């Protein structure tokens, strides 16, 4: 049975529901095929769903095949078929139109062309069943069949959703092991929001949508809808409001939670939702027969379900009761109804505390303890709860209630609570709660003080809510306006630029159009800037200031240019204007990466050299980059990235450009990129030019040569020859390089005499300590200024390379001194006015090594008797060392006491960051001030690194105190003349970024500090540092280097990940070609 040409998934779900009824009542079950229709290049159905959301919404019917047909030709359909193939375990069906319709509604694509496109689908392993839709004829089908008859069918994805709860609105929502707490917005509830109830009762459904929209804007990832009121026709109200939501994409993008104690109301809501919803809720209170009937219907509708800890006896209040009821419901749902465990959410009942009744005192504790056991014993399930119940005793006291919610969630999330019905946007951060109030809430929730309720009420009643300055002369102001503008640009003087630009604009005899001022004196000035920079007579900080002046002048002219354009459009149909730029360049930091200082500098430098720069910012997905490039007719695309996963994304972009036959030159840059990686991994995927650009100063030369018709072919040919040599050298080195097997390397690992050498010191505390608003002034003396000058591309020559020797360099010394002084002034302002905030966390735990891994425990007593609470996995050097070398083959686990020796040891971790940068940059952006944007980011990076350095010193001397008598100069710190190391995941000692996931999960880093991880495991904010602490006196930094497949396979097995996934994350250090 085929349900096809699906424009609206809600209709398709109705068809699937009807078919399942027929199979149950009248007919033998038949295989189901489901085929959606993506209407245009946005990648969405007519009703607005993305391809992945469509798959999630219909997968409950367990189709044998799922795919796409109609609306698009094969060429346009390909990226969407690829997406669907990645997010389903079903076979893929694809039958496109014969191209796009012509102006008369007919189809011109020949059978040969359609067959050629579909053959590439088959050869690339994208499809299992192919055919034709509108415009195709029997001749098309014959040609397609002939083209694909020798192709191997696609092998379905076997584990796409393993361990994930999959939900959808217009967009997909995946909830997995590492998803942060999920906010279910609570305000679209007639029983919980007076405003919402008033609007619904008054029949103002459209106005009520504003409540839903506000919840989504404040962070609700799922929207709870409840229409349970005696004065409402519940089913009608639910259906009507859900239909209104469907018309608002900003709301409909998130999944809905259909919430009612009346199952008829729930069904009314489910019938109106095209996405995969949550039903809230069912229980065993009416017995198993009722439970089965509702559960089977919910499964047929394709929803996840919340099950309350309620049975025939009543509501569970004690821990054992909660666990028992949930375990019983789980077995019934999984074994009897066939529910996917990942679609089950248990609500073990958050009940009211602080009522004055002693029997209620343990309600919060019981929920938390039950949650922990349920998550440990019932695989796949999620835990939710209605948070407002907890604080119902304190209604009307919002500050108390919000604090209680914040404290409760802090502990419940640690024990496995995945989601909750909350007022999104009104949850305080645990560490932001007033200390006295925090302690009172802790005492109440953990039932530590019998008077906690009275004390909280009392609290509510008593707490209402260096160098001499260069003297600037103004003699240049006596020159002509053209000379003044050029002088201001070269010298970076903003003061008069708007005034001078306006003077030039008013001179209509000389400048009949505002554009002529840009093409004339402004571009002349920027050309001078570019020439001076290229000749090494002007330095990057000066160039950035020049760009700031240019932006201010152009910003003044833009309104007049727009007015002129409107006037020209009114007079004539021709609106063509001569392009004043050398070329258009699209720049982007790739998906998953948040670092952009280098990219911003490249953009400014190119802009100063008369290139039109379109900066797409950070975390930019491939389709957005390519779409922008095509829409803006880009001449060059530039990709930037700092972390190693960005390298994979760059490869993907290159492959997509090749597949789509885009021929725009591609520039590659960023800290982790290299000419070798570009030549070996990226360039072979793309037939147009791919060029690694080392820094901003080289970008102008490369771009100019790529766009010069006279030299571009020779330049590309030269690059191709150079990269071919690099590739050959690389592959030769892999052949020549010798490696030890993993077991041989382990046998030659670093050895420490654990039984006789100094015993490890126990830290002063175990667990974590959080630092809020750390004193920035304390960090200033720990700043390493060399990387700061590197950002500005100011590099002294020997013997004046380091700081402060760079000030003596004849070439860059003066400019280095100038930019340093400006940095000092800005730093003083930032600190004095508290524009930036430093936050951080340290933690210590008992640790033991087991071969190449490190096991962590809560307490010393747990080491012998309990399973570890976390594991950090290590990688070991395998590349053979010189025959004369006695160096061991290092792994980080070598520096921790082996479990078998029984000697206590410890591991620490840290994460620090500088917050407030984005807000400041937005302010400077409004002022077109690129110089201070880059300066702020550079200083924030230095402060974050200084924070890490200062904190490590405190760890050695105070928190861990294994070197409490250490007395080192700052220069000694830079040379690592102390005991212990602080390696970071993603860096040479442990190149695997996924180890950060363990850090963040185990130490609650995001919850405690606000430092987040992107999907590529970059840290947000970008000015952040994290790592592990080792105290062993023999510990040292090392580079793992290249590793072989035996270690990759062993590592994948230990981490319970696929070899392919590990190869993706470790691609830069593989000593073999995985392809």
Active site residues: 593, 595, 646
C-alpha 273/C-alpha 218 separation (Å) is 22
Match 């343990």 to its residue by tokens: 362
Q: Please give the DSSP secondary-structure letter assigned to residue 895.
A: G
C-alpha 747/C-alpha 1054 separation (Å) is 19
DSSP string, 594-645: ---HHHHHHHHHHHHTT-EEEE--SSB-HHHHHHHHHHTT-SEEEEE-SSTH
The β-bridge relationship of strands 853-856 and 837-850 is antiparallel
| SS3 at position 226 | strand
Nearest Cα to Cα of residue 854 among 747, 1007, 962, 990: 990
C-alpha 502/C-alpha 481 separation (Å) is 10
DSSP string, 472-483: PP-GGGGS-HHH
Please give the backbone phi and psi of residue 276, each rounded to the nearest 5 degrees, phi first. -90, 115
Residue 140 CA from chain centroid, whole number: 43
C-alpha 644/C-alpha 666 separation (Å) is 19
Residue 948 CA from chain centroid, whole number: 23
DSSP string, 61-125: G--SEEEEEEEEEHHHHHHHHHHHHHT-SSEEEEEEESSS--TTS-----HHHHHHHHHHHHHTT
The β-bridge relationship of strands 182-185 and 172-175 is unpaired
C-alpha 780/C-alpha 946 separation (Å) is 7
Angle at 963 between CA 960 and CA 969, to 5 degrees: 120
Q: What pairs with residue 6 in β-bridges?
A: 36
User: Do 631 and 662 contact (CB within 8 A), yes or no?
Assistant: no
User: Do 316 and 345 contact (CB within 8 A), yes or no?
Assistant: no
Nearest Cα to Cα of residue 222 among 263, 167, 273: 167
C-alpha 882/C-alpha 878 separation (Å) is 12
User: Do 219 and 424 contact (CB within 8 A), yes or no?
Assistant: yes
Q: What pairs with residue 612 in β-bridges?
A: 584
The β-bridge relationship of strands 906-915 and 837-850 is antiparallel
User: Do 226 and 265 contact (CB within 8 A), yes or no?
Assistant: no
C-alpha 401/C-alpha 810 separation (Å) is 64
């Amino acid at each position: 049975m085929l349900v096809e040409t699906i424009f609206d998934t809600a209709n398709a779900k109705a068809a699937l529901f009807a078919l399942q009824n027929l199979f149950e009542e009248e007919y033998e079950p038949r295989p189901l095929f489901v085929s959606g229709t993506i209407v245009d290049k946005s990648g969405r159905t007519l009703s607005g769903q993305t391809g992945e959301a469509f798959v999630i919404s219909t997968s409950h019917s367990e189709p044998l095949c799922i795919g796409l047909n109609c609306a698009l030709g094969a060429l346009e359909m390909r990226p969407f078929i690829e997406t669907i193939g990645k997010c389903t375990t079903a076979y893929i069906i694809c039958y496109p139109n014969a191209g796009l319709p012509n102006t008369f509604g007919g189809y011109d694509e020949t059978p040969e062309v359609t067959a050629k496109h579909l053959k590439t689908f088959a050869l690339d392993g994208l499809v299992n069943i192919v055919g034709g839709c509108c415009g195709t004829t029997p001749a098309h089908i014959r040609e397609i069949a002939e083209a694909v008859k020798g192709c191997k069918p696609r092998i379905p994805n076997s584990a796409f959703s393993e361990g994930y709860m999959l939900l959808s609105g217009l967009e997909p929502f995946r909830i997995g092991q590492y998803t942060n707490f999920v906010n279910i917005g609570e305000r679209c509830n007639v029983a919980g929001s007076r405003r919402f109830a008033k609007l619904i009762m008054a029949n103002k459904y459209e106005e009520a949508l504003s409540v839903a929209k506000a919840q989504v804007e404040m962070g609700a990832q799922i929207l709870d809808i409840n229409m349970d009121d005696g004065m409402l026709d519940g089913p009608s109200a639910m259906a009507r409001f859900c239909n209104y939501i469907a018309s608002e994409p900003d709301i409909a993008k998130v999944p809905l939670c259909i919430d009612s104690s009346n199952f008829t109301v729930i069904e009314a809501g489910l019938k109106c939702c095209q996405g995969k919803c949550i039903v809230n809720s069912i229980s065993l209170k009416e017995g198993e027969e009722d439970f089965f009937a509702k559960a089977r219907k919910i499964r047929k509708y394709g929803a996840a379900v919340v099950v309350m800890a309620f049975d025939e006896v009543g509501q569970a209040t004690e821990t054992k009761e909660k666990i028992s009821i949930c375990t019983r419901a789980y077995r019934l749902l999984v074994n009897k109804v066939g529910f996917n465990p990942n679609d089950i959410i248990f609500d073990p009942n958050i009940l009211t505390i602080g009522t004055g009744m002693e029997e209620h005192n343990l309600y919060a504790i019981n929920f938390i303890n039950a949650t922990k056991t349920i998550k440990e014993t019932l695989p796949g399930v999620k835990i939710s709860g209605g948070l407002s119940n907890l604080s119902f005793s304190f209604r009307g006291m919002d500050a108390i209630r919000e604090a209680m919610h914040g404290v409760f969630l802090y502990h419940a999330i640690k024990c496995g609570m995945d989601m909750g019905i909350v007022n999104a946007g009104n949850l305080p951060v645990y560490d932001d709660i007033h200390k006295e109030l925090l302690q009172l809430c802790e005492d109440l929730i953990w039932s530590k003080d019998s008077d906690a309720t009275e004390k909280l009420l009392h609290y509510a009643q008593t707490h209402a809510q260096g160098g001499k300055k260069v003297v600037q002369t103004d003699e240049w102001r006596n020159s002509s306006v053209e000379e003044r503008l050029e002088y201001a640009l070269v010298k970076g003087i903003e003061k008069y630029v708007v005034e001078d630009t306006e003077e030039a604009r008013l001179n209509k005899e000389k400048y009949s159009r505002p554009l002529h001022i840009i093409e004339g004196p402004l571009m002349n000035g920027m050309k001078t800037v570019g020439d001076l920079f290229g000749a090494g007579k002007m330095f990057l900080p000066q160039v950035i200031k020049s760009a700031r002046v240019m932006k201010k002048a152009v910003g003044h002219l833009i309104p007049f240019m727009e007015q002129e354009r409107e006037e020209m459009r009114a007079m004539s149909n021709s609106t063509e204007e001569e392009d004043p730029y050398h070329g258009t360049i699209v720049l982007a930091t790739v998906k998953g990466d948040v670092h952009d200082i280098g990219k911003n500098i490249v953009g400014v430098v190119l802009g100063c050299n008369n290139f039109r720069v379109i900066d797409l910012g950070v975390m930019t997905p491939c389709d957005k980059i390519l779409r922008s490039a095509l829409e803006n007719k880009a001449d060059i695309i530039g990709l930037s990235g700092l972390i190693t996963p960005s390298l994979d994304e760059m490869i993907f972009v290159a492959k997509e450009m090749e597949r789509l036959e885009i021929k725009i030159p591609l520039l590659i840059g960023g800290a982790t990129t290299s000419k070798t990686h570009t030549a070996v991994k990226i360039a072979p995927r793309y037939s147009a030019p791919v060029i690694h650009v080392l820094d901003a100063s080289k970008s102008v030369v490369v771009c100019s040569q790529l766009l010069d018709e006279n030299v571009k072919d020779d330049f590309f040919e030269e690059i191709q020859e150079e990269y071919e040599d690099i590739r050959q050298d690389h592959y030769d080195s892999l052949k020549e390089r010798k490696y030890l097997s993993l077991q041989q390397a382990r046998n030659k690992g670093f050895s420490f005499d654990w039984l006789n050498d100094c015993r490890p010191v126990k830290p002063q505390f175990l667990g974590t300590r959080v630092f809020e608003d750390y004193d920035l002034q304390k960090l200033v003396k720990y700043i390493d200024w060399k990387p700061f000058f590197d950002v500005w591309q100011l590099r002294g020559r020997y013997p004046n390379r380091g700081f402060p020797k760079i000030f003596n360099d004849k070439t860059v010394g003066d400019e280095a001194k100038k930019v340093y002084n400006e940095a000092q002034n800005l730093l003083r302002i930032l600190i004095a006015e508290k524009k930036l905030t430093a936050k951080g966390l340290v933690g210590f735990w008992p640790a033991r090594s087991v071969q190449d891994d490190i096991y962590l425990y809560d307490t010393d007593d747990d080491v012998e008797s309990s399973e570890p609470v976390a594991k950090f996995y290590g990688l070991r050097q395998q590349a053979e060392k010189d025959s004369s070398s006695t160096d061991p083959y290092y792994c980080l686990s070598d520096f921790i006491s082996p479990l078998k020796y029984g000697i206590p040891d410890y591991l620490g971790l840290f994460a620090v960051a500088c917050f407030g940068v984005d807000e400041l940059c937005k302010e400077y952006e409004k002022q077109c001030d690129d110089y201070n944007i880059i300066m702020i980011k550079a200083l924030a990076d230095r402060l974050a690194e200084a924070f890490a350095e200062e904190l490590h010193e405190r760890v050695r001397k105070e928190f861990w105190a294994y070197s409490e008598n250490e007395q080192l100069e700052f220069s000694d710190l830079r040379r690592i003349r102390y005991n212990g190391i602080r390696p970071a995941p993603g860096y040479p000692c442990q190149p695997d970024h996924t180890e950060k996931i363990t850090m963040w999960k185990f130490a609650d880093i995001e919850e405690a500090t606000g430092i987040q991880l992107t999907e590529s495991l970059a840290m947000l904010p970008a000015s952040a540092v994290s790592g592990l602490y080792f105290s062993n006196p023999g510990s040292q930094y090392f580079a793992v280097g290249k590793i072989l497949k035996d270690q990759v396979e062993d590592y994948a097995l230990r981490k319970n990940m696929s070899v392919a996934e590990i190869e993706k994350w470790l691609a830069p250090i593989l000593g073999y070609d995985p392809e």
